A and B are shown apart, each in its own frame.
Chain A
């Protein structure tokens, strides 16, 4: 359901350095705003051009808002959601909550034991003046139903598989009869938040010259419409000229699009919500962090950009150029993935006490303060406390179950039959499966030694992994670090489970990809459940599966805390800090803060200049 949207936010923060270090001269003060930032003061004015920096590789390549399975470019969402927003808007005032004002529904009600959802639409209109109706929803539903699994956001069992029937009693009401009960929070925040409405009256066509009909109402017709819209939507030369893409219901329309990924929005004058105050939003792709930083330091062209963590010292210079800086927490889970099915190290990481010892040796608070200058979530468990204030449990908020404690790590290993060699490599002296022995599959004299792969290109990540490597030595746990380009890691680190274990891609032991972004409801489904599509290391726990299911399908408000605390303690990943995004914006730009982390802080519909 959320694959491409997750990528959209994730990709914003991927370091793009390719061997050229940014200038990092003295920058004076590195004081930075809080997550809420400080609003621009002064009188709001209409008009003005906002120029927004995007990182290397962020050029969109599809304008049709439902990408096919082969298109993983998360930046397409950033292009399309300003024109075709989702039924449910995420992030209200920077909080992990639904934003009713920007959503397309006027009311959402769950009934029949949470198996029926009744959605009433706002009386909004498309940019061509036609009303948005329930038919626009059934158009989307029919297209998806006929074309899954060739939809990038498709997750087996979820929308549209879980919809038994759709009723449209009137033009503004949609009734979804689901195949099972859902937790309303999960269904609203993680499922309906990924469904846009599309203009059936303009897009239900099988060819450019054909007439609009109701082709989507048959499976064959829906396939033809899907194929037509995919083809038209991938022709970048016609993004601004094709009549299809001129019918929008979002705050902006597309005014220009360059093949290099630069594009410009202008306000949708017929937007039914609040029409944006700015006259133009220019999106400019940068080939490197260095180039973006130079543009910011030159002080002229950019209104909004992002500062790499490595360049925090530049904040002082940027402030003299008229910029404000704000810290944006990322809604995601960060950690080191463990391959439970690696022939050599799988038996080691399968032991909870070894995972606990490794976590005890990770000095997360020091990494946050020394490596990330304080601009990171501590990563105390599966739910980041900085981005999900209302979802993170008291256990996580108080530091998590495993605060830094090297002495505890040493004693844990000794208690299980290990000869601990601080600064060296600890070895198993008591093989066996009793409580005082090393554990199943671990042989006598076996070493506590792992290779840790991680994504190259970020100095702060290098420093964090080196810090973990260094602190692990205190208990004789040897980590060999190896950094590789992200795409190389992605192509060689495969999903390894009991049933699927290809030798070519399951040689890895530990890997750190950065983080896995969440939607509004931070469930661990697909990441930590057995055979979850994103559970690469094959972690498997019946209890974990049950708890995850309850977060998605149960109604109890307590369920989430129970799941979160259990997952934090069981360590399906080794938790690590999650660095924040540091946003830079012109001080006369209002509406930028408080940030909405759930849209990657890209909400130009809320921005305005002040004088």
Chain B
């Protein structure tokens, strides 16, 4: 198992470096001038020159890349062209909020989807299953912003139960101190994830319920509660583990729609704004973090697979 993990970590590092090189080259191929995007359309040649010198944009591309890698090795992700703040600071300020909101909503969605999916599988084609199917499909087809608008319109504008904004604090502690403001964004993100997870869980559980080993377990007199919790759950959860692994980078990448509607500044908006303003250091920094999260998520899913299913572990060793 250890060598398996070591091998996967080494592959992950290569992938992250590849992502960094590719991103660096691609963003510099985008037409338009970073200086003009940052300084505005009416910046004169003198100011453009000052900007390019300040940020090293007057150097050849390979030299700029060298500077970037050198900075990276010293823990410096560069300075944002538009906010003039260190990229590492910008990411460090936005990441905790996203991890809190998206992390909690993912955990909630999984916690609800797993028993829901098993319940639907066991009650397959019964009225309750069909009813839950209908609800799931409805939620699955609803865009995030629509769910958000519905919740805000009902619970904020009409009933004044919850505020329409996420907490405005910039620390996790500060955000947790305003729990009412957490409700609507977390509910929106949970609903959005829940439908997908429960569909996967139901499908996987239906497959497992048809397996011979379950018939054997029941024939041996194992109570249904234990059949479901020990055998069905463990064997049908593998697709969910994959999904969670794939979701991990989303947690780090933020949620532009939720950030826009619920008024909190997360990684999604940071990336979006950087992409429209040619803010190369921020684009590179966020891509690097999201790339790293992607490989970590996949790595974690692979390891979890191995733990949950010994056949995979043994096959790899």
Contact = CB atoms under 8 A, between A and B. Distances in A.
B152 interface: yes
A315 to B, nearest CB: 15
A237 to B, nearest CB: 8
A307 to B, nearest CB: 15
Interface in A114-142: none
Interface stretch (A64-72, A89-97, A200-208): A64-72
A79 to B, nearest CB: 14
Interface stretch (B7-15, B46-54, B191-199, B307-315): B46-54
B40 A7 contact: yes
B84 A71 contact: yes
Interface string A558-598: 00000000000000000000000000000000000000000
Given A492-B31, A500-B45, A294 B157 contact: yes
A366 interface: no
Contacts of A288: 260-261, 263
B152 A70 contact: no
Contacts of A503: none
A57 B32 contact: no
Contact of A260 (B40, B47, B265, B273): B265
Contact of B42 (A73, A301, A536): A536
A438 B46 CA distance: 39
Interface stretch (B98-106, B132-140, B162-170, B287-295): B162-170
A290 B170 contact: no
Contacts of B272: 18
Given A61-B84, A69-B50, A534 B42 contact: yes
A287 B54 contact: no
A450 interface: no
A30 interface: no
B112 interface: no
Given A291-B260, A294-B156, A3 B42 contact: yes
A106 to B, nearest CB: 35
A223 interface: no
Contacts of A29: none
A287 B41 contact: no
Contact of B41 (A284, A295, A489): A489
A50 to B, nearest CB: 16
A488 interface: yes
Contacts of A557: none
Given A20-B260, A72-B43, A291-B263, A298 B38 contact: no
B37 interface: yes
A14 to B, nearest CB: 12
A150 B265 contact: no
Interface residues of B, number: 53
Contact of A513 (B41, B165, B259): B41
A53 to B, nearest CB: 10
Contacts of B257: 20
Interface in A471-501: 485, 487-495, 500
A333 to B, nearest CB: 13
B50 A70 contact: yes
Contacts of B157: 294, 297-299
Given A298-B164, A300-B160, A494-B36, A291 B262 contact: yes
A437 interface: no
A410 to B, nearest CB: 34
Contacts of A150: 50
A20 B164 contact: no
B39 A260 contact: no
A149 B49 CA distance: 11
A59 interface: yes
A149 B46 CA distance: 8
B32 A488 contact: yes
Nearest to A152: B47
B34 interface: yes
Contacts of B44: 495, 533
B129 interface: no
B160 A298 contact: yes
Contacts of A285: 265
A516 B40 CA distance: 12
B58 interface: no
A505 B33 contact: yes
A149 to B, nearest CB: 6
A108 B246 CA distance: 68
A485 B168 CA distance: 27
A287 B269 contact: yes
Contacts of B24: none
Contact of B261 (A294, A299, A494): A294
B162 to A, nearest CB: 9
Interface string A276-313: 00000000111110111011011111000000000000
Contacts of A165: none
B145 interface: yes
Interface in B59-100: 82-85, 89, 93
A361 B170 CA distance: 51
Nearest to A59: B83
Contact of A72 (B39, B156, B265): B39
A262 interface: yes
Contacts of A275: none
Contact of B36 (A20, A291, A301, A490): A490
B155 to A, nearest CB: 9
A88 interface: no
Given A298-B160, A491-B32, A491-B278, A291 B45 contact: no
A150 B50 CA distance: 8
Interface in A242-296: 258-262, 284-288, 290-292, 294-295
B226 to A, nearest CB: 48
Contacts of A295: 163-165, 263
Contacts of B169: 258
Interface in B261-275: 261-265, 269, 272-273
B277 interface: yes
B41 A301 contact: no
Contacts of B32: 488, 491-492
Contact of B85 (A61, A504, A516): A61
A61 B42 contact: no
Given A287-B269, A294-B152, A260 B261 contact: no
Interface in A121-175: 149-150
A70 B36 CA distance: 11
Given A23-B153, A288-B261, A487-B277, A61 B83 contact: yes
A391 to B, nearest CB: 22
A166 B82 CA distance: 36
Nearest to A317: B157
B163 A298 contact: yes
B149 A287 contact: no
Interface in B146-181: 149, 152-153, 156-157, 160, 163-165, 168-170
Nearest to A486: B276
Nearest to B269: A287
10 contacts: A69-B46, A73-B82, A149-B46, A149-B47, A291-B164, A298-B164, A505-B33, A505-B36, A516-B42, A533-B44
4 nearest CB pairs, A to B: A491-B32, A291-B263, A491-B37, A294-B164
Interface of B: 31-34, 36-47, 50-51, 54, 82-85, 89, 93, 145, 149, 152-153, 156-157, 160, 163-165, 168-170, 256-257, 259-265, 269, 272-273, 276-278
Given A490-B40, A492-B33, A513-B41, 5 more contacts: A70-B54, A72-B38, A287-B263, A298-B156, A298-B163
